Amino acid sequence: MTFAPADFTRLNQKQDVELITRPSLSYWQDSWLRLKANRRALVSLYIIAAILFFTLAGPWLWPVNPAAQDLDQISQPPGAERTAIVVPPYQPWDGTALVQEAGSRDTEGQEAERPETGFRLAAPATTQGVRLSWEPLPGATGHRVYRNLFPVGEELAFGVPVAEYFTNDALFFEDRLDVQPGTYYYSLVGLDERGNLLEVFETIAVDVRRVITVEEALEKGLVAQAAALEPGDEVELALHPLGTDYIGRDMLARLMAGARVSLFIGIGAPVLFVLFGVIFGSISGFVGGRVDAFMMRFADFVVALPFLLFMILFKIAFGIGPGESGVMPMLVALVVLMWPATARLVRGQILQIREQGYIGASQLLGARTNYLILRHMIPNTMGVILVTITFSIPNAIFIEAFLSFIGMGVAPPTPSWGSMSNEGIRNMLTTPHELIFPAIMISLTVLAFNLLGDGLRDALDARMRNTE
Amino acid sequence: MTDLVQAVELTRHFDLGRGRIVHAVDGVSLSIAENEIVGLVGESGSGKSTFGKTLLGLLPKTSGQVIYRGETLPQKYRPRDFRRMAHKMQMIFQDPYSSLNPRMTVGEIIAEGLRLHDVVKSSEVKEKVAHWLRLVGLHSDHMSRYPHEFSGGQRQRIGVARALILEPEFVVCDEPISALDVSVQAQVINLLDELKQRLGLTLLFIAHDLSMVRYVSDRMAVMYLGSLVETGPADELYFAPKHPYTEILVASNPEPDPEAERRRASTTITGEIPSPVNVPAGCRFASRCPRVMDICHRDTPQLLPLRDLDRHVACHLFADQQTAAEAGVGRKTG
Amino acid sequence: MTLVNKVANKEVNKTAGTKVDGRPGIGNGDAVLQVEDLAVEFTTYGGIVSAVRGVSFNVKTGRTLAIVGESGCGKSVTVQSIMGLIPMPPGRITSGRARLKGYDILGRKTVNGKDIRGSEIGMIFQDPMTSLNPTMTIGDQIAEPLQIHRGYSYRRAFARAIELLELSRIPEAASRARQYPFEFSGGMLQRAMIAMAIACKPSILIADEPSTALDVTIQAQILDLMQDLQKETGMAIILITHDLGVVARMADDVAVMYAGKIVEQGTVDDVFYRSAHPYTLGLKKAMPNNDPARQHTLQPIEGSPPDLFAPPPGCAYCPRCPYSMHVCVPNDPEPVVVGEGHYSRCWLHHETAPEKPPELFFGRENSRPPESAND
């Protein structure tokens, strides 16, 4: 390399040695950038925003009463068939007249196949009723009718007995017991004089169709005018995007209502107990000495209480009167039992900050105690407080869900995700959606808050900050 | 020269419980004259930092007095007392990282004193902060930045601006440069020197770096295990130490001069500074002193002036050169 | 020296662990460790930090090399990468090599079947507490490397540990060996660390700020101890420090680091009395001098060291340098030999540079050094 003498002249303009070129970032701006760089935390933040939107804006977008029962659609999974055929009002049946009551274009095919003898359908099976008739079985002096949701099979599982006759006078039966759309297996078993089962039986499979009368359709608001409907028309029943529960309540509306309860406890309780913990901890840490020792022993005492047991005792002690949901006792119990962890944490932070130079400097400048706490100590514990809240929320949600699940939490009919799971688990095998949806909501919320908490802790942690 | 600040038998103990008491500062008497820089040196654990904090009231006094311009200051400060003294005494802290609140902008940090005292109209606060930023060699547009964006030396200068914006008369500098790199230590030292000239400050300069303290101070005080062992004019004390501990301290101080280091004899001191918990009777340095005598284990030597010298030494070796007259006060006035 | 080594070692066999130049012996003054063009980067949250940017030096038997520099200049990273103590990732050695007695050691754990760490190179740190196991007695911890590297029995290793503690001037070594680290004071711990570091008679002792956390009286004891042990064992010492006083006391050779590069290197007298780089001169002027004959007012180096997230293309010291020229901004100076084994990275040493500030050393005849300077 060769250089001209001009290169070796002095830089006459003194360079600015105190220049800072990096952009200025406040603690929160910097933390936000760090959080944004954390993909998992960001996704969690979006999920939480979606859950909050679902909870708060959902009921306006889906204004279905979560307590309203749709008895036509009980335990319906999402996406279930919901057409109903309009029929005349129900007429009692004496078992003799085989009239074409439900006769329509659609049922004719089925009618043609209907056997004229043996155990048979006397009329097309509808949700209004299943009409069965038969000839006496050989050797039988009476009959018993069974209903089953599943085929009888080799082990002769007939199902539930629905009718019993000890004579051969009546050879018909109308089943109106909670008939739902779907396939039923009816079995006719012969009885001897003493009412013992004979080994003769006949089984038929019956497809039940959903029907609705004009009046019912009007009542449910499915159609505007009665004139618009003719028997044999099809109408769509009310929409339940996530199906219905075991008494026909809309799952989506209940999830939204349940989210309000779960998140109210899940967010409200941590905010309250963290607030209390911050106040308790900062007083304890700042005052120090005997007061500190006494306050911390009290916190230790609260920690030593067996948490679940006391939670349940609190609930019982508070009692739930008629019409009460049990949300408030649960909130109070959570706040009363869960603050010590935060108090300890904040006290530790305050003790640490109290030794920092800027506290001494501020004291020497004449700062009063509340200025020191509000201007110096709380802002410097904010990160820790925020992380604590974020980690407390999934914990509180889980406790609420757990207590409601074991029946010690929110009282029915108030929905919460925990109590919905509790109700759903009864029908877990036949209609799993009643359990799965609230369980998904709980898991998703808990997971999202935990991942967000992880991200926040990393983003706010001063130890990871570049101090230069 | 009149005394601005006077510590009289200042004592600060920390009770560890179960009868264990840390004698961090034990009966230290030191006078600081107006416009003087007094350097206080000692090893870690000697209580020099505690002395500075007790002097300013950041720690309550166990016993003894601090007299400021003839006024005896309260034993334990309340916020009111701090407010009153804020215009008179301030402190510059050791750690440039922990002494600035990371959540406040530099402008807020420097303006804190002004805002707490309403001495300046709020419209003029910004102007004054900008003025001080320039005074400590930074830019006025650094006001909106946060401490973590500055280097150690820059932060320490921000700390200087915060302490001096109320224009105090007396400033305790608690190891203001020991956390800084060599190349920037001089920045802070020169800044303090310049501001001292400009504002007529009186400084207590606490440090463990003997060379720097000698350079900065008019007078020097050497502390060992909570009490002063020697005081005197800085150069005299450094180049002609009297107390065996001072001697060893100076001899151990490495100098940036290979020739001088080659001439230096190997160290004579053994052992380490003992625990300040429940200090035994007698001279505190007796356990390490190379010239220890029997009396050292029995009697605690007093810090007494040396005849014909502006020096005070607490050592039995100099008993014959000392007069008992001016006991207690660490500076010969006159 | 380093320039010469670069040329001389072009022909070397690159296979790790094989002998490089026929004669691996270590007489006094021979280079026991040769580091060439070492560069280390760290991938961090904010980007890539070039912590070390091409560092070359030799360490000779029985001599002490002091690496001096401000915090963040890369002096610790340099030795940590030689010792294989850099966490990778985020760290990355981007170039260079280090040879111990002629064997490549960079990125390796053993050489000739012997562990490098502990056996060939001993190391002590600023904070001994972090490198000691708090649940083991001091004696056991010193005995451990002897059992591992030397195959001693426990009894023999423990006896040797007590000897080593005595060698490190720990009083009542036999009972002290049965104590735990928390029962030791800072100075005593540092002595124990030294005992542990020299247990396997390493050829090099690396001391990373060994006395920074200690008081001056204790510091003097530790430095004396290190010097005495060096005299006895003939090991080389690499001393990392920011304290020029410690350098003056301990060092035979000095390497001054700034922003990841060695800006001046030479014997201790060269660097202190014939400073050839403005940074070295600046450091000296920024420190008080206790020689009454040479009093001066402190002249600080303005500003702060550069941010190694984006190292400047030219001389890193340029923004703070009182002699900065136009050439310094875009061009990084190459090391220029100013005396035997003494070189400086500064454009002022370029032949075209018109101005030769009298405070700086420019070789005997104020000209380029004779060829014979390259031994």
Q: Please tell me the distance in Å from B275's CA to the nearest CA on chain C.
A: 10
CA distance B3 to chain A (A): 22
Stretch C126-137: mean pLDDT: 82
A9 in C contact zone (CB under 8 Å): yes
What is the three-class DSSP state of A133?
strand
User: Looking at chain C from residue 271 to 290, which residues have their Cβ under 8 Å from any Cβ of chain B?
Assistant: 272-273, 282-290
Q: Is A1 on the interface with C (CB under 8 A)?
A: yes
Are B181 and C242 a contacting pair at CB < 8 A? Answer: yes
Instruction: Give Cβ neighbours of residue C218 (< 8 Å, ≥ 6 apart).
Output: B43, B272, C186, C187, C190, C211
Q: What is the Cα–Cα distance from B323 to B318, expressed in whole angstroms?
A: 10
Angstrom distance (rounded) from CA C34 to CA C75: 16
Q: Is the pLDDT at C166 greater than 80, yes or no?
A: yes
- Which H helix or E strand runs over A56? helix A39-56
Is A357 close to B149, i.e. CB distance below 8 A?
A: no
The neighbours of chain B, by the rule of 3 or more Cβ pairs under 8 Å, are A, C
Apex B88 CA angle, B82 and B93, nearest 5: 75
pLDDT, tens only, C217-259: 888 888 888 888 888 888 899 999 888 888 988 889 999 999 8
C304–A contact, CB cutoff 8 A: yes
pLDDT beneath 50, residues of chain B:
325-334
- Write down the mean pLDDT value for chain B: 85
Question: Reduced to 3 states, what is the DSSP secondary structure of residue A270?
Answer: helix
Which residue among B86, B97, B150 sits closest to A365, beta carbon to beta carbon? Answer: B86
- B204: which 2 tokens? 């207590």
Which residues in chain C touch residue B187, judged by CB atoms under 8 angstroms apart? 300-302
Flag if A7 and C329 touch (Cβ within 8 Å).
Answer: no
What's the CA gap between C348 and C356, in Å, rounded?
Answer: 7
The CA distance from A340 to the nearest CA of chain B, in Å, is 26
Q: Cβ of C299 and B186 within 8 Å?
A: yes
**Option in A360, A365, A382 nearest B116 (CB):** A365
Distance from CA of A455 to the nearest CA of C (A): 14
Distance set, CA C269 to CA C272, C275, C340 (Å): 5, 9, 12
CA-based nearest distance A29→chain B, Å: 11
Pairwise CB contact (< 8 Å): B103 & A27: yes
Q: What string of pLDDT tens digits covers the 468 residues of chain A?
A: 566 767 777 776 555 656 666 666 777 887 888 888 888 989 999 999 999 999 888 888 888 888 888 777 777 888 777 788 888 888 888 766 554 444 444 444 444 455 667 788 888 888 888 888 888 888 888 888 999 888 888 888 888 888 888 888 878 888 888 787 888 899 888 888 888 888 888 888 888 888 888 777 777 777 767 666 777 777 777 778 888 888 888 888 888 988 888 889 899 999 999 999 999 998 898 888 889 999 999 999 998 888 778 877 877 777 766 667 778 888 888 888 889 989 999 999 888 888 888 998 998 988 888 888 888 888 888 888 888 888 899 999 888 888 888 877 787 778 888 888 888 888 888 888 888 999 999 999 999 999 998 888 888 764 444 432
Contact B137 A18 (CB under 8 A): yes
CA distance B158 to C129: 33
Task: Please tell me which residue of chain B has the smallest CA distance to A383.
Answer: B103
Which residues are CB-contacts of C74 (< 8 A; sequence separation ≥ 6)? C40, C51, C52, C53, C55, C257, C259, C260, C261, C308
For B261, the closest of C221, C248, C285 (CB atoms) is C248
B270 touches chain C (CB under 8 A): yes
Judge whether C202 and C119 are in contact, CB under 8 Å: yes
Nearest by CB to A465, from B90, B148, B150: name it.
B148
pLDDT, residue C113, reads: 66
Contact flag C331-A22 (C-beta cutoff 8 Å)? no
> Which residues of B fall within a CB distance of 8 Å from C187?
272
Instruction: Give the residue numbers in A contacting B (CB under 8 Å), as ranges.
Output: 18-20, 22, 24-27, 356-358, 360-369, 371, 375-376, 379-380, 382, 462, 465-468
Looking at the complex, does the CB of residue C127 fall below 8 Å from at least one CB of chain B?
no
Residues A83 and A80: their CA atoms lie apart, in Å, by: 9
User: What does the pLDDT read at residue A340?
Assistant: 92
ipTM of the complex model: 0.85
Question: From the candidates B181, B253, B270, B277, which should be mutated to test the interface with C, based on the most C CB atoms within 10 A?
Answer: B181
Q: At A302, give phi and psi (nearest 5°).
A: -65, -40
Answer whether A1 sits within 8 Å of C46, measured CB to CB. no
Compare CB distances from C325 to A10, A17, A466 and report the shortest one's residue: A10
Structure confidence at residue A200 (pLDDT): 84
Rg (CA), chain A: 35
